[in-house]
Amino acid sequence: MVGEPRLRLTYLDGIRAVAAMFVALHHIWLGVWDDFPSNAGPWWTGWLLYGHIAVAVFIVLSGFSLAIEPVRNEGRLRGGNRRFFRRRAWRILPAYWAALAVSIMLIAVRRYELLGPDGTVVGHQPVTAKSVVVHGLLLQDVIGSPSPNGAFWSIAVEWQIYFLFPLLLWWQRRFSARTLVLAVLAVVIVSQYLSLAFDVLSPIQGLTPQFLALFVFGMVAANVLTGPPRPRRWASAGAAVGTALLVACAWAAGSPAMVENFFWVDLAAGVCTALLLAGLVHARSSRLRSLFETRFLRWTGRFSYSIYLVHSPILLTLWYFAVVPMRLEPVPRFLVMLALGMPAVIFGSWLFSRLFEEPFLRHRSWAGLREAFAARGAALRSRLARMRPAGTGARAPETGTPGPEVSLVPEER
């Protein structure tokens, strides 16, 4: 694998983009029709009920992406566990905390009012010190508290799975990928059963235990990077068959039954996703891979984390201040939210990523950030000095090499 620089797996960015935008579409649907898990809207909107599955896809993607480096390093983390945890914190926490602050400020601007479709106040969304502390520490799946952003629940689950990642790698090295999958599945299924059978263990439900299995599915799928190409063709076929069966089950059972059994639905969707990721690794002629590698999806995928973090406050702000005052019927309201909301989500998330995500991707330490901002400030002052007309009291700078420029183009992931 050392001599394979073109195997950058750019289709992963496209899948991230599709999953993030699907979550945003799901929340648009929820804002218009409030009969979840039933579909109170037109039949052609029924597929938007399943935004939860997009979160499951994200978890499998996370396991796959994080396992790529260890797979190429004999199953070990380069630089050790400490480097891994530091880099994960640097990647996840700054943007998350910024989104938490934005969400809290927007709730304050709305004066905590929750408006119904007719514009009447139907309740209040509090911002308490407890919710700020709990969400700031990423403990919202363990400690109940009012949420300033409904999308934050899965960030806590994934963050906690990161701490198990070195142990999962060790297990896979010591035994095998198969025993890892079987062991984690056993733990997850037993945990689910116990949480349903005993009230004292019901908080396990908040941890969404099946997500640990989904993460492992992604880890194991990354092993095809060093395996023979033939199984990858079978993986793609398995993903297609599994997805078709899942869709058929949703059609036959109905959305309430599917939502009630999200534990098993997530596991099935996770297997399909892992097979898809494995099957697309070397499928360079695949139309599906080409779709995921289109310029728009690759670009959007690079700030998919920001889409997930801030799409909810963007949509809620648009809903309260633009759509509700129109007093539209549900279907026109949904179409207006689609037409206005998705462009607003993409633009707003891109802007958020430029401010709070990309700098931490470009610079891996506080010292690097300080140097970058200092250089950017020096370059800006140099430009202003050159633009200042003569005779204003400041000496025009001598001609020469301009100050350093700082690029904010995201690094290659």
The pLDDT tens digits for 326-368 are 989 999 999 999 999 999 999 999 999 999 999 998 887 787 7
State residue 129's pLDDT score: 86
Chain segment 199-211, per-residue pLDDT in tens: 999 989 989 999 9
DSSP label of 176: -
Position 164 pLDDT exceeds 70: yes
Q: Which residue has the higher pLDDT, 76 or 405?
A: 76
The answer, yes or no, to whether residue 4 has pLDDT greater than 80, is no
Average pLDDT over residues 70-91: 93
| Distance separating alpha carbons of residues 275 and 282, to the nearest angstrom | 13
Share of the chain above pLDDT 90, in %: 63
What average pLDDT is seen over the chain?
86
Provide the pairing of β-strand 121-124 with 113-115: antiparallel
Distances (CA, A) of 364 to 89, 358, 359, 412: 11, 11, 9, 13
- Mean pLDDT in residue range 51-61: 96
pLDDT score of 297 = 96
Q: Cβ(149)–Cβ(157) under 8 Å?
A: no
Position 116 scores a pLDDT of 46
H-helix or E-strand containing 359?
A: helix 358-362
From start to end of 228-355, where are the E strands? none
pLDDT at position 84, please? 95
Residue 175 has pLDDT above 60, yes or no: yes
Give the residues across from 372 on adjacent strands.
Answer: none
More confident residue, 362 or 388: 362
d(CA 306, CA 338): 19
> Binning pLDDT at 50, 70 and 90, where does residue 231 land?
low
The stretch 149-172 carries a mean pLDDT of: 95
Segment 129-159, tens digit of pLDDT: 888 999 999 999 999 888 888 899 999 999 9
User: pLDDT band at residue 76, thresholds of 50, 70 and 90?
Assistant: very high
pLDDT at residue 1 is higher than 50 = no
Residue 138 confidence (pLDDT): 95
- What are the strands, taking DSSP E only, across 44-165? 113-115, 121-124
> For residue 113, which phi and psi values (nearest 5 degrees)?
-80, 135
